[in-house]
Structure 1
Amino acid sequence: MDEQKARLQEIVMNQARFIEAVYRFDSMYNSDYPDGNEAATISQIKEAHENFAGFGDTGEFTLARKLIGQTAQIDFILRHRHNQSDKPPPIPYSSNLAEPMRQALSGISGITIGLDYRGELVMAAHEPLPALGWGVVAKLDLAEVRAPFIRILGYWALFAILLVGVGTYLFYRVGSPIIRQLQASEADIKTTLNSIGDAVIACDCNSFITRMNPVAENLTGWRLEDAMGKPLPEVFKIVSSLTGETVASPMEKVLQDGVIVGLANHTDLIARDGSRIPIADSGAPIRGEQGQISGVVLVFRDVTEAYEKEKQLRESEARFRNLYLNAPIPYQSLDSDGRLISVNNAWLNTLGFTQFEQAEGKWFGDLLPESYQKLFQDRFPKFKERGETHNVEFEMIRADGIPIQVSFEGRVSRNNQGEFVQTHCLLTDITEKKQMEQQLRQAQKMEAVGALTGGIAHDFNNILGSIIGFNELARERLDDKHPVKSFLDHVHTGSLRAKELIAQLLSFSRQSDSTKTSLLLEPLVKETLKMIQATIPSSIEINPHLQGTSELTIHANATEIYQTLMNLCANAAFEMTESGGQIDISLEQVELDESQAQKKMLTSGDYVLLTVSDTGPGIPPENLNRIFDPFFTSKPVGEGTGLGLSVVHGIVKDCAGQIDVDSKLGQGTTFRIYLPLFHDQERESSSEVADESHASPASAVILLVDDEPTLVELSQAQLQLLGHQVIAHTESRAALSYFQENATAIDLVITDQAMPHLTGLDLIQKMRLIRPELPVIVCTGFSQSITPERIRQLGIQSLLMKPILKDDLHRAVQKALQKEA
């Protein structure tokens, strides 16, 4: 009976170590099994158990675990021999049944005689499985164990005298079936071992092979009968797949430390034929009844396919990592505290960093202006809760301190429990886009103001013309000592200022008469600087930088370019009146490519860059976007109209150019004007040739046409004072009828342009059909249809802009009549 106990205990211990080895292997390499590595172990044990029917008439293995709930229970894992149900019913842990299994689940190893799960008295060897929290039992019904010996005792009573001989005979004759049953049990264990899907090799403490399953035979290339008794390193040769160097067998570590040991990654098994097979391996100790190590079991598998998948995964990760790092759009990830944990190269370039370590761990708010930091602090928790945000625009500060405008798109990732992991955000630098939008808004605003100016200019000039003209007539009828004369002088001065203001408005809106020619810019700049130097304080120094610019030519109006330069320098000088400083003026030729030109809303090509810089106090940031607005001025009341820079803007735009401004408080302001380079050999200088004086012609018959009765009355009186005979009409069709009847009697026609029925140009064309050489003067307060080219085509002698002063009218009449003569 002691021999049976020992044999049962050895078998149950080997079975326990084997199960633990399978579990350790699954823990390391089957963690992705659908229900976990424990379920993987159960699956393999059940599969092997299907080929095991038990031993003897009643012998069997049972495997169970303890379930903790309202009532603790013993949950059997394997199908029972005496109960063919795939899932045996659990037994209360407090029951007196299944005593051997209760001992095993309590962590006790040994031999017990007690009731099994059926209530039958059995002899059982029980062993705990600490790694799993399970227990394993190998048992025989006690009746089967005792049956031979009971028969022996009966024979002993009848044949006492033959006790020794007969007892010996019976021991071998009757005990041998039990031994055969245990041998059958051993065969069943072998069957179980052979059913395992992984390779298994068992060794004794001296590293000699004792067991080997078919999978191990297939991988190593050794048959069991050839490998049995050989040293493990001779059969199980392993090397590093990276270096080819021999790797120490895990058996040595198991025997030394008595623990389960796994192989390092990238280990190859050298098969008997010399082929190399990537494997994953673990080793576990085999312990005896007293816990002593009696050998080692190795469990390993071919991981060629797994390694290939891992390689493909690494390559895929590398591709996506490379795609992420080199994506053209800036990308960043933040942790739950709003700190940077990942950025790509585009992000580094956009924010001015050279490597991630400079930004790693930074709080995102530190990259924002102070005014945005509190906003980020308040909104980041809401972003994490909501999970996404779109098209958020804000300002960031680059590493070099330069502010940029960005657009933000973001999402968050969460774990299986729905908890926040990190953000995934895209940033788009929209600085240039915002600048272009600002330029477009400015252009649209200027266009709108220009349209408004043109719309009111005609009516306003007519009104102002009446005031100026009749005031001039009244002043001429009074001597200098008349008390009213000084009042009329003030009216005249104010009217002239209003006339100048309208002229500036029309110049700003580019609806005044502007004749452009090819113009050498350097002589004009030098001439203008002489005028400026004479009008500014000596504490302000002017530094021209004009070397090598003598041939730079533009297509523009010389007076307008002069006015542009005068306005810019006058503004700079005004700001430095008290402190002094310097003004730098430079000319250079530049070439703008498609990208540069697009940013400035220009076409690509060659440009002349006129730069005016000063060392004054600078323009406050809040005023930069308004300096070109009409009537905006930072000067004291009475010091300026607010039209200077508006006029400059209009002149530059009319020349198909662009004006930019940079300013920093305390450092000064720089204006850059880009004007298209003009490639034409015919050039005109900036100076105007004065009109030659001529004697007044004799009295002439003048046909005067204007739809404003007041202006007709005024012009008629002025012309009559000059000695001319005036025939006046306020309706263009009536004037045409009169001319058709008296064409030869008319010496000169003076007509307004904007009239109902027939405009001034229409009227002239019809008159010229009758008399082609007819001298004509056209007056207008505003008309987009009158261009210098149209004037030349129609042979018009003069174009007068309302309001018209008496002297201007006199000179125009003289000029027209002289050419006629």
Structure 2
Amino acid sequence: MHPDKFRRLLAAALAVPLVALAALGLFFAVLLHYDARAHEKLNKIDTVVTATEQLQDLIGTQEALARRHEIAGGAAQQSALVPLHTITRIRMAELQKMALGDPRADALLETLNDQYLLWMGWAQETLAGKTFGLTIAQNDARGWQQMSSIHETLRELLDLEHERRERQAAAIASFKRHTIEAIALSALLLGLLLATLTRQSLTRVSRSYRKALNEQERISGELARSRQWLQTTLESIGEGVLCCDAEGRVTFVNATAARLTGWQAAEAMGRAAQDVFVIVDETSRRPREHFWSADHVDALLASWSGQSLLLGRDGSECLVDHTASCIQGPGNEFAGMVLVFRDVTDRLRTERALQTTEKLAVAGRLAASIAHEIHNPLDAIANLHYLIETEEDPQLQREHLKMAKQELARTIQITRTMLSLYRESEHPVPVIMSELTQGVLLLLERRAMQQNITVEQNYEGHCRIEGFPAELRQVMTNVLVNAMDAAGPGGRIQVRIEDQSAEELRGSGVLIRVVDSGPGLSGDTGNRLFKPFFTTKGEAGTGLGLWVSLGIVQKHGGSIRIYNSCESSLPGACVEIYLPARVLQLGIHRLVSEEVHPPAMV
């Protein structure tokens, strides 16, 4: 299960009890609110009862003062009655402001107020000695009757408030009883609801967790099997594999890498990669420069790629082709590197033997032509020497001597060209391709004359590059010999060399085109021309000429391709060679790999 879905299920399982508890808490808050209001109302009733009883006591005190006028006289009671009257009026007003909320209680308060004012008028008149024609007994009877009405009203008011209090107390008791029952019932229902929902939620969470756990176990098993399969594969392949982390520490070494480097896997683990994989330049034996920096991954990979001499821990040495690839982490950050290398010592030895064989084959093909080219001027020199000895005329002797020198110079030029074909420089030197091609054509001149082949030459520009002259002569010899063989007796060959300006995909250099008048390429021949040992000449060919030429051109950083010409006068094959103005020095022993590209664009 996806982690987000699992988290949602877990959140839902926890949210249900929280929501239920919140609802229960809200229900309890409402109950407490109603209970507080009921007690507030009960307290208000108690306050009214207390105020009524205090009012009753004040009126009773005033009644007692009014009764004493017979003994003490009216003046003293009248002075004492005034403040009590004021307090009574204040208490009466406070009681009326309490908003009892019962029409009967409000009516009783109005009646009580009127009765009290009426009695207070009687008491003041009586204490002042005014009876209005009534006898003392009649006057007292009137006062006592008024006071009896006041007491009756107060008793009714108190009875009414006591009755209200009992009803409110009973309501509170009933509310509490129902509240307890509601709480118990809601707790029971909530418990059942929570138990049911929680059980369902936990069941889903548990099922999801178990499913996720099973999926994780399945993935872990697949990863373990994949890791075992990968390790077995890496251990069984014939190429060395060495893995490093982001700090350049070795994390994996397969059996081939352990054999070539001399480091066992257990010993190499955790060591710096440059201490285990020690490579130097093949010719200069200088250590390959490389630096470990995750900020410059491209430069790091380039410094660990190429062909070098591997120095084993046990002192062994072997030539290896090695490449490096970057390992990226989850955030595409640099997490390490994989080095893949293989021993190419035997392959290079075989390739060099094939190159030597091809050079010998080229020498063999040129031997007859060179013998004729050298024999003719030497024969002419011998004849001229005889004429010089027998000639007595000094003028004729000088002419014969001049002709002998010309033939001798031609012989020297042929021999120098022959020697330079196999004299190889250690570093690229300036080469004028037009002069180099003319030298090769000089060696092939006898062969062209025997087959009556016309060679057209067209040179434009300086045609100057940097390269290895001996190897370039070998390329031009192979191409021109193939063109002569394709053109056949009476055929025609056109050689064009021109300066090439810089383009988008390649720099400036020289473009060479050799076109013949032969039948051209047929079928899938063009796709197989650059493969070793493939030849269309039968027993007369070795099948190595174009393969070696391809390697030499690629060594110079150029390209070679063969296609059928579109010219009506020369409908045969066209060999197009591009050579850059400057060649990267890779070492004279550096050879191309076995993989070759199709001739459509090499």
| TM-score (ref. length: structure 2) | 0.37
Q: Indicate the structure whose relative CO is greater, using CA pairs within 8 Å and at least 6 residues apart.
A: 2
Q: Could you say which structure has the larger radius of gyration?
A: 2
Q: TM-score of the superposition, structure 1-length normalised?
A: 0.28
Q: 1 or 2, which has the higher strand percentage? A: 1
Q: If each structure's helix is expressed as a fraction of its own residues, which one has the higher value? A: 2
